Amino acid sequence: MNLDYIAQFFPFSTFSFLVYTVITLIISFILIKLFSFLINKATKKFDIEITIKYLLKDLVKYLIYIVAFIIILTLAGIDVNGLFVSLGIVGITIGFAARDIISSFVSGIFILFDKTVKVGEIIEVQNIKGEVKKLGFRTTTVVTPDNLIVTIPNGVLAKTPYINHNFFDEQRIDLDVIIPFNVDINKFKDIFIQEIFTLEWVLEDSPPRVIVKEMIDTGIRLKISAWAQDYSKIEIYRLNLADKVRKIINDLGE
């Protein structure tokens, strides 16, 4: 880009600078919207993976931002080449301050090529479980079962072990319960395994589990698990599971 060639058309003054800056920002906004539209059309036409669509949008957006920033600096009469040299001198300081941003950006690129996380998949990281709605260069956005939107820096995904539940079509429904001491755990387990299949959403090919976790003052804490396919109804399934367990405990405690 020949910045001197651009600058000769914009004689510097406060008014002209403001006018041309606004024009530059408007054009940048229009270009971002235009390329976003074209990317949407292309991904539908060529059946491109939705994850690639979001990353392409981010890439185009950042490139347009950078070009617009350089043009605005040129309009302000700033020597961009000299500015880049100055930035090189303080680059180490800036790089240290922005290391988390840079880490997240680089991690986003690796996630893209590794294809370990995709839009529409269910992931769990640092006790946060949800469906991936957007995968960008810096962050990944997930929606939890209770409709909370959580933004996770890609650097966290790169450094922290996470679970991708979509390697299996089945979704596990977990529930912690406390069994009173007057209830026989073995009887509870046998009845639970039989009764759980009366719930229509429970998958028969994946047997439920009952795991003893610890003994507390009020009873024995268990972790029970069943499997379903529709992740969007996980909270409803958990309520069904809790109600079924409550009835079994009441019957055995009588």
Taking a C-beta distance cutoff of 8 angstroms, is the pair 107, 136 a contact? no
User: What is the reported pTM?
Assistant: 0.45
Report the chain's mean pLDDT, rounded to a whole number.
78
pLDDT-above-70 percentage for the chain: 74
Domain membership of residue 220 (yes or no) is yes
- Looking at the domain assignment, is residue 99 inside a domain? no
Q: Is residue 97 over pLDDT 50?
A: no
* CATH number of the domain that residue 147 is part of: 2.30.30.60
Count of domains for the chain: 3
Contact (CB, 8 A) for 76 and 17: yes
Look at residue 102 and tell me whether its pLDDT is greater than 70. no
Check residue 92 and give its pLDDT: 46
79/11 same-domain check: yes
Question: How far is residue 111's CA from residue 244's CA, in Å, rounded to a whole number?
Answer: 41
pLDDT digits 0-9 by tens, 180-200? 988 888 899 899 888 888 888
Supply the range of the domain harboring residue 228.
Answer: 171-253
Mean pLDDT of 69-97: 63
Asked if 186 and 247 sit in the same domain, the reply is yes
Phi-psi region of 120 (alpha: psi -120 to 50; beta: other; left: phi over 0): left
Confidence of residue 150 (pLDDT cuts 50, 70, 90): very high
For residue 78, is it within any domain?
yes
Residues 196 and 247 reside in one and the same domain: yes
